[in-house]
């Protein structure tokens, strides 16, 4: 059974959900994602680590994650999870790692459906142009997350 709870983290509302001992969703806002609205240790663990991230005290997350999506989405999210703290890559870089540089737009679409915001660091993926990018939570949030990590848009490789 899926459980979720609303947390105030860094003065922002987050919804965190878990099922079967794994975090399944982290989203900005109070989102009704189904299941039981009930706090538990796993949800608190994830919230605590997110608080540490926003305080600049955490670079990696240790809570267990279960990704739910298509095989392609999961491959994009798994590749994105390898992008190190404060580093950036392009959508094209991820597509090339998956074997086809022409899939950059599809990579962007998959990242737009990232179910575990911040833990799968889609904010670290930028366009080749560096000034065009998407982010489900908006460009200001993407810039903010990168600034926490000491990263800049111009650090993206060609």
Say which of 46, 65, 119, 122 is annotated catalytic: 122
We report the CATH number of the domain holding residue 89 as: 1.10.10.10
Say how far apart CA 119 and CA 48 lie, in whole Å. Answer: 13
76 shares its domain with 130: yes
Distance CA 102, CA 107 (A): 10
Q: Alpha carbon of 87 to those of 12, 53, 128: distances in Å?
A: 24, 15, 14
pLDDT of residue 90: 93
Say yes or no: 47 and 79 in one domain.
no
Q: Within this chain, do residues 75 and 50 fall inside the same structural domain, yes or no?
A: no
Question: Are 46 and 106 within one domain?
Answer: no
Are residues 49 and 81 both part of a single domain?
Answer: no
Whether residues 48 and 94 share a domain: the answer is no
**Residue 63 domain-assigned?**
no
Is 65 part of any domain?
no
Claim to verify: residue 35 and residue 110 sit in the same structural domain: no
Q: pLDDT tens track of the chain, all 158 residues?
A: 899 999 999 999 999 999 999 999 999 988 767 788 899 999 999 999 999 999 999 999 999 999 999 999 999 999 999 999 999 999 999 999 999 999 999 999 999 999 999 999 999 999 876 555 667 777 888 889 999 998 865 444 43
In a domain, 59, yes or no: no
Domain count, the chain: 2
Same-domain status, 47 and 76:
no
- Burial (Cβ within 10 Å: 0-12, 13-18, ≥19) of residue 71: exposed
Asked if 156 is an active-site residue, the reply is no
Specify the pTM: 0.90
Residue range(s) defining the domain that contains residue 32: 3-54
Does any domain span residue 13?
yes
Indicate if 40 and 108 belong to the same structural domain. Answer: no
Residue 134's pLDDT is 67
141 within a domain of the structure (yes/no): yes
Rounded-to-integer distance, Cα 112 and Cα 128, Å: 17
């Amino acid at each position: 059974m899926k459980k979720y709870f609303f947390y105030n983290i860094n003065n922002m509302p987050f919804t965190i959900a878990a099922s079967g001992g794994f975090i399944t969703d982290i989203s900005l806002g109070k989102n009704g994602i189904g299941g039981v609205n009930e706090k538990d240790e796993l949800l608190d663990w994830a919230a605590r680590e997110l608080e540490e991230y926003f305080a600049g005290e955490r670079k990696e997350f240790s809570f267990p994650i279960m990704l739910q999506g298509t095989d392609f989405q999961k491959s994009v999210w798994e590749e994105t999870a390898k992008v190190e703290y404060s580093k950036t890559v392009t959508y094209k870089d991820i597509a090339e790692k998956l074997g086809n540089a022409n899939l950059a737009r599809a990579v962007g679409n998959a990242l737009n459906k990232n179910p575990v915001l911040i833990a799968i660091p889609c904010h670290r993926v930028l366009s080749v142009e560096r000034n065009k990018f998407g982010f489900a939570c908006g460009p200001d949030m993407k810039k903010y997350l990168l600034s926490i990590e000491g990263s800049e848009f111009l650090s993206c490789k060609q």
